[in-house]
Amino acid sequence: MRLLPAIDLIGGKIVRLTEGDFSTEEQYGDPYELLKAWQGKVPMIHLIDLEGAKAGEPRHLDVVRYAKSLGFLVQTGGGIRSEASLDAVMETGADRVLLGTKAFTDPDFLDKAIEKYGKRVAVALDAYDGKVAINGWQEATKLDDISVAQDLVKRGIETILYTDIGSDGKLNGPNVTRMKALRQIVNVTLIASGGVTTEEDVKELKMAKIDEAVVGKALLSGKVSIEELIEWEARYA
């Protein structure tokens, strides 16, 4: 099971939010310094442009380029709502690019993205109580997350990042029940995000046959070290 250290960005700084609420912002320093510290320790990272997600266009492509220059595989997203912004993110060399809002509001855009970039295109499916949220989690929809996931697979998406907004930033464990429900209906690379904090969390996700998990606040706050993350990944490979 692959574990992805997460860096969320606002104003050039690493931040974490609770349940996607921008008023809960906590800062954790400089992304360039942290990336340098992680270089050679983990193969892949998760870089999310929260400022871009709120603004509707990417704002931190320089950080993605820097991560690539250090040799990381990069999964990134945030604010990609036009063909031009998608092309700009792809040109950084990002290995996986997450589409969010636009994937649900403009199906034609998603289809064209898949046709152009294939498996490099993934979808960030963010939900609260089973309902999809868009626009940087600031707007709820009536879309059911399970039904949406099924439709994404039919359209050709091979990777889905699922964030349980109610668990995000709380350090109280992921929503394993929801991840199991998704696993039962989609046979694609499935990534868990939100609340992953302990080795037991990783073990439960592995038992649920989840392919990857994002670890954010637990790592940044010091509740888990990058070395522990590496050990867990090896243990539950």
pLDDT digits (tens, 9 = 90+) for 126-180: 998 889 988 766 778 889 999 999 999 999 999 999 998 876 555 668 999 999 9
Q: What is the distance, to the nearest Å, from the Cα of residue 12 to the centroid of all Cα atoms in its chain?
A: 18
Host domain of residue 221: 2-235
Q: Degrees (nearest 5) of the Cα angle 93, 95, 100?
A: 105
Residues 176/180/181/185 CA torsion (nearest 10 deg): 150
Q: How high is the pLDDT of residue 140?
A: 81
CATH number for position 144: 3.20.20.70
Q: How high is the pLDDT of residue 139?
A: 79
Q: How high is the pLDDT of residue 84?
A: 97
Q: Identify whether 126 is a catalytic site residue.
A: yes
Coil vs helix vs strand at 169: coil
Select from 111, 114, 143, 107 the least CA-distant residue to 126: 143
Distance CA 29, CA 139 (A): 28
Q: Are 111 and 155 in contact (CB under 8 A)?
A: yes
Q: Show the tokens assigned to 181.
A: 């429900």
Distance CA 59, CA 76 (A): 12
Q: Identify whether 8 is a catalytic site residue.
A: yes
Query: What is the number of structural domains in the chain?
Result: 1
Selected residue with higher pLDDT from 140 and 114: 114
Q: How high is the pLDDT of residue 210?
A: 98
Q: How high is the pLDDT of residue 134?
A: 84
**What tens digit of pLDDT does each residue of 77-98 get?**
999 999 999 999 999 999 999 9
Residues 195/196/199/202 CA torsion (nearest 10 deg): 130
Q: How high is the pLDDT of residue 129?
A: 86
Q: How high is the pLDDT of residue 170?
A: 54
What is the rounded average pLDDT of the residues 177-195? Answer: 95
**What tens digit of pLDDT does each residue of 10-61 get?**
999 999 887 667 888 999 999 999 999 999 999 999 999 999 988 889 999 9
Distance CA 93, CA 71 (A): 11
- Taking residue 11's Cβ as centre, other Cβ atoms within 10 Å add up to 11
Q: How high is the pLDDT of residue 136?
A: 67
Set 49, 126, 168, 201: catalytic member: 126
